[in-house]
Amino acid sequence: MHRVLSVGIGLALFSIATLPTSAASRFVQDPYPSTYAPIASAPVLISNATVLTGTGVRLDNADVLLRDGRIAAIGTALAAPADAIRVDGLGKWVTPGIIDVHSHLGVYPSPGVSAHSDGNEMTAPVTANVWAEHSVWPQDPGFAAAMAGGVTSMQVLPGSANLVGGRGVTLKNVPATSYQAMKFPGAPWGLKMACGENPKRVYGGKGTAPGTRMGNVAGYRAAFIDASEYIAKNTPKQPKKKRWFSGSDQGDSAGDSGGKRDLKLDTLAGAIQGDIRVHIHCYRADEMETMLDLSKEFGFRIAAFHHGVEAYKLADRLAQEGVCGALWADWWGFKMEAFDGIQENVALVDRPANSCAIVHSDSPEGIQRLNQEAAKVIANARRAGIEIAPERAMMWLTSNAARSLGVEKQTGSLEVGKMGDVVVWNGSPFSSYALAEKVYVDGHQVYDRADVRRQPLSDFMLGQEARP
Amino acid sequence: MSARSVSRLLPRALLLLAGACAVPAALAQEVLIRNATVHTAGTRGSLDHTDVLIQGGIIRAVGTGLAAPAGASVVEANGKPLTPALFGGITDIGIEEVSGESATVDSTLKLEDQPLRPEFDVSLAYNPDSVLVPVARVDGIGFTVLGANTGGGFIAGQGGVMRLDGSADPIGPLALFIRLGAGGAELTGNSRAAQWMLLEQMVSEARGRVAVDSPHALLTPAGRATLARYLGGQGRIVVQVDRAADIRQLLRWAAREKVKIAIAGGAEAWRVAPQLAQAGVPVFVDALGNLPTSFDQLGATLENAARLHKAGVMVSFAQRDDASHNARKNRQLAGNAVANGLPWAEGLAGLTRVPAQVLGVGDRIGTIEPGKLADLVLWEGDPLDVGHYAEQVWLGGRAVPMRSRQTELRDRYLAPASAEPRAYTR
């Protein structure tokens, strides 16, 4: 949690170190809690596989045991419990479930009908009050397609039309009739912000602010100044010394004088206090530098820059600041701020010590093959003289992603005690020919390529004559 | 340069560039590529330990133990795959620089009155100096067909086949692009039924059954002449269409009017595969498109290419999104089609021989056969696998510098930081 809060001229510096640190913060109370319940499964023993743990380690001829929803053991010649389901891993590769930190599944679902276009609240430049989860259509067939690509968790974000787009939600990729039943238990929310062309185009085009990049920054600052004041008003005062003439101190919410609750400021306050992770859509290196300064001005921490087509130009600073780069392998040129894209962006961001490179999708097609996106990076890096081992690249899709979302203690690597989120691949995942054969979420097999009855099908696709 | 000089391919782009520059232009078209795994994409299939001799920009011989003529440069392939230069799909390479900046985009015509202009030819806007050209080329893309996009009418206009060798003009005939189905309905009074009504009328005009000065004419005289050429079997009409029901209507129309068509997209084409095969209609498959992105694509499947091929349909590949800047992704489409049941050789053919034939340039490019232009790629590994890259590209026998604006940005930032700003590095 980031505790330094300096909000510029006119506002006093003060410390919020006295605030309770648990999720009890009023800014992040959840009236829409997760109802996700793992499905019980017999233990599963995958044996003799090539295992990429997601922590940068490769184990050959290794076994992975899942039990009670968790990774129970990793090693060689593991003994299978009597009731275990045995999976022959010979020739297979086993990895943690893939995590996509940037998805719009459910909020921009398939089919792309106007009735389901719920990803951008394009009615004001700061809509920190909206939550992407309230737009998620759980029947989006894209969820099942992503599962077939080995994706077990994802962050669904609002779009990038706004300076502050709203809260993102982390989901477990399981079929459900409500988003709450997919909601990752205990995962912090994300806050979606956006730099550059999109906000200024959307609002400038309507003749309202922001219409320029300087307007963008003024907009972020105004919002965070409001949020800082809101925190000050909502921070319980130190009890005054009791004087013999003092009255009761039970009035005014026991020193809490925040007044009416403001959903927008709740979210921004939660971000300042570090309970909500800040994810910023930002392409250009200079704008990322500006946003890093903004984060210091208002005392929040940036979890990741998303898209970051020019992240390679400030890779060292990103690593120093502990900010992840959630990037594409090869997208570029669709707009001016994407003109400097290179195919080695992820590799260059990955290069410094303490880096946090992530391959993300922002696409219902890309999310299905993040492994192939990483394969492209490996190949292009090799062409440029940089060798990247598969066990290293796997971190881009798993543990680094989990770290940016704040779920790294629960998932994102094959370590004993973590969630049994696992993929069995037909071979190395870093290939056009790679196919996820079996996918497990919390130790339960949710997908089997060899058995169509073990592949979820959206309600929407039922009874469609054209269904493949 | 001696006859025996061997320019061995080096793994680093920079060194490759240095090597390529060292070859004088006049000699560059005399090349012997030795000991490659030659995927001809032609009748001879794949050949191990095979040499390819290039003279005057043309493939002269494909065989073993070929002698290097005096002055030829010799490339030792060490068994690596050699393929024809690949097809980048239906793109706007050279007619679009930055998609979001309309002043750099010339692919779409939007005229208020008389929006239906088949005579519109995007090739005339083609800029061979576009940064998109080298970006695609260093990843093994050697040719593309410029796709006119629908803007003002569902008849998008024409585009030609461009080789990405810096030449300015299309080779072969133009193709005419039309969009049918939901994607074109907004341009036809909000009903796809009107597309057939309007097509019917345009055909009547082109066939001279409507007076040129009729107040109801949809086409200009130039438009009539253009459409008449396609109705006469010159050039191919490429139809962007996905829904099986619409493809059935299209097949009926094409048979009646006796036009040569191809389908682009074709998410549900597999559902009418036998009819497509019988009519000899090829499909440019978007092989990563497996989602019901619209109600026209409810039948989308990764097995589309494999099922079409099995039924005897000619299959090539074209992306729906990100087609131009990421034309290099077309080989990922082929690889994924292979992962989903298409034979590997057909995956390669779909990136080489098939699009060349379908677009009317199969006599010049698309296979490694004597007499064909020496548009070739030597790969570091399997060309259909995104885990491998293009080591060297030849277009017209000339070793292309493996350099683009992207590799230059890469190299500038790959170097360690120093006190001097990177702006001084080039």
Residues of B in contact with A431 (CB under 8 A): 385-387
Report the side by side order of strands in the sheet with A357-359.
Answer: A98-103, A151-156, A164-172, A190-194, A277-282, A302-307, A324-327, A357-359
Q: Strand B31-39 to strand B81-84: parallel, antiparallel, or no bridges (unpaired)?
A: parallel
Q: Shortest Cα distance from A365 to chain B (angstroms)?
A: 7
Contact (CB<8Å) B336/A432 = yes
Residue A91, CA distances (Å) to A415, A445, B65 in order:
22, 20, 38
The residues with which B394 forms a beta bridge, in sequence order, are: B376, B399
Q: Shortest Cα distance from B398 to chain A (angstroms)?
A: 21
- The mean-pLDDT minimum among B3-7, B157-161, B232-236 falls in B3-7
Residue B1 predicted with pLDDT over 50: no
Contact (CB<8Å) A342/B410 = yes
B88-364 belongs to which CATH class? Answer: alpha beta
Contact A360, A326 (CB under 8 A): yes
Looking at per-residue confidence, does B173 or A16 come out higher? B173
Instruction: Pick the residue from chain B with its C-alpha nearest to A431.
Output: B387
Would you state the pLDDT for residue A238? 67
Of the candidates B324, B389, B409, the beta carbon closest to that of A383 is on: B389
What three-state secondary structure class fits B128?
coil
Would you state the pLDDT for residue A258? 58
Other Cβ atoms less than 10 A from the Cβ of A375: the count is 27
Using one digit for the tens of pLDDT, what is the confidence trace for B320-333? Answer: 888 999 999 999 99
> Which of A433, A462, A467 to probe by mutation at the B interface, max B CB count within 10 Å?
A433
What three-state secondary structure class fits B231?
helix
Q: What is the 3-state secondary structure (H, E, C) of chain A?
A: CCCCCCCCCCCCCCCCCCCCCCCCCHHHCCCCCCCCCCCCCCCEEEEEEEEECCCCCEEEEEEEEEECCEEEEEECCCCCCCCCEEEECCCCEEEECEEEEEECCCCCCCCCCHHHCCCCCCCCCECCCCEHHHHCCCCCHHHHHHHHCCEEEEEECCCCCCCEEEEEEEEECCCCCCCCCCECCCCCCEEEEECCHHHHHHHHCCCCCCCCHHHHHHHHHHHHHHHHHHHHHHCCCCCCCCCCCCCCCCHHHHHCCCCCCCHHHHHHHHHHCCCCEEEEEECCHHHHHHHHHHHHHHCCCEEEEEECCCHHHHHHHHHHHCCEEEECCCCCCCCHHHCCCCCCHHHHHHCCCCCCEEECCCCCCHHHHHHHHHHHHHHHHHHCCCCCCHHHHHHHHCHHHHHHHCCCCCCCCCCCCCECCEEEECCCCCCCCCCEEEEEECCEEEEECCCHHHCCCCHHHCCCCCCC
Of the candidates A343, A378, A461, the beta carbon closest to that of B406 is on: A343
What three-state secondary structure class fits B379?
strand
Using one digit for the tens of pLDDT, what is the confidence trace for A193-242? Answer: 999 999 999 999 999 999 999 999 999 999 999 999 999 999 876 666 66
Of the candidates A316, A334, A432, the beta carbon closest to that of B386 is on: A432
Residues of A in contact with B294 (CB under 8 A): 111-113
Pairwise CA distance, residues A265 & A128, whole Å: 7
Q: Shortest Cα distance from B406 to chain A (angstroms)?
A: 5
Of the candidates A333, A348, A433, the beta carbon closest to that of B98 is on: A333
Both tokens of B125, joined, read 């806007």
Give the containing element (helix H, strand E) for B89. Answer: strand B86-91
A97-236+260-413 belongs to which CATH class? Answer: alpha beta
Contact (CB<8Å) B301/A316 = no
Would you state the pLDDT for residue B113? 84
Of the candidates A336, A376, A466, the beta carbon closest to that of B101 is on: A336
Contact B414, B404 (CB under 8 A): no
- The mean-pLDDT minimum among A340-354, A425-439, B20-34, B153-167 falls in B20-34
* Residue bearing tokens 């099986």: B244
Domain definitions of chain B by residue range? 13-84+379-412, 88-364
> Which of B386, B403, B406, B412 to probe by mutation at the A interface, max A CB count within 10 Å?
B386
Using one digit for the tens of pLDDT, what is the confidence trace for B334-345? Answer: 999 999 999 999
Q: Which residues contact A261 (CB under 8 A, 6 or more apart)?
A: none
Instruction: Pick the residue from chain A with its C-alpha nearest to B294.
Output: A111
- CA-based nearest residue to A415, from A71, A58, A49: A71
Contact (CB<8Å) A344/B414 = yes
- CA-based nearest residue to A224, from A160, A295, A288, A283: A295
Contact (CB<8Å) A333/B384 = no
Would you state the pLDDT for residue B8? 34
Contact A344, B410 (CB under 8 A): yes
Would you state the pLDDT for residue B153? 86
Residue A114, CA distances (Å) to A131, A230, B107 in order:
19, 36, 26
Four-way CATH pick for B13-84+379-412: 2.40.50.140, 2.60.260.40, 3.90.380.10, 2.30.40.10: 2.30.40.10
Distance, CA of B8 to chain centre: 30
Residues of A in contact with B292 (CB under 8 A): 110-111, 141, 460-461, 464
Residue B28 predicted with pLDDT over 70: no
Would you state the pLDDT for residue B16? 38
Residues of B in contact with A432 (CB under 8 A): 332, 335-336, 338-339, 384-387
* Residue bearing tokens 């030597």: B378
**What is this structure's pTM?**
0.93
Would you state the pLDDT for residue B6? 34
Q: Shortest Cα distance from B244 to chain A (angstroms)?
A: 8
Residues of B in contact with A467 (CB under 8 A): 298-299
Other Cβ atoms less than 10 A from the Cβ of B193: the count is 12
Mean pLDDT, to the nearest integer, of B52-70? Answer: 97
Domains B13-84+379-412 and B88-364 share a fold: no
Mean pLDDT, to the nearest integer, of B349-377? Answer: 98
Contact (CB<8Å) A111/B270 = no
- CA-based nearest residue to B297, from B149, B181, B187, B184: B181
Mean pLDDT, to the nearest integer, of B105-132? Answer: 95
Instruction: Pick the residue from chain B with its C-alpha nearest to A373.
Output: B386
Which residue ranges of chain A lie beneath pLDDT 70?
1-24, 237-258
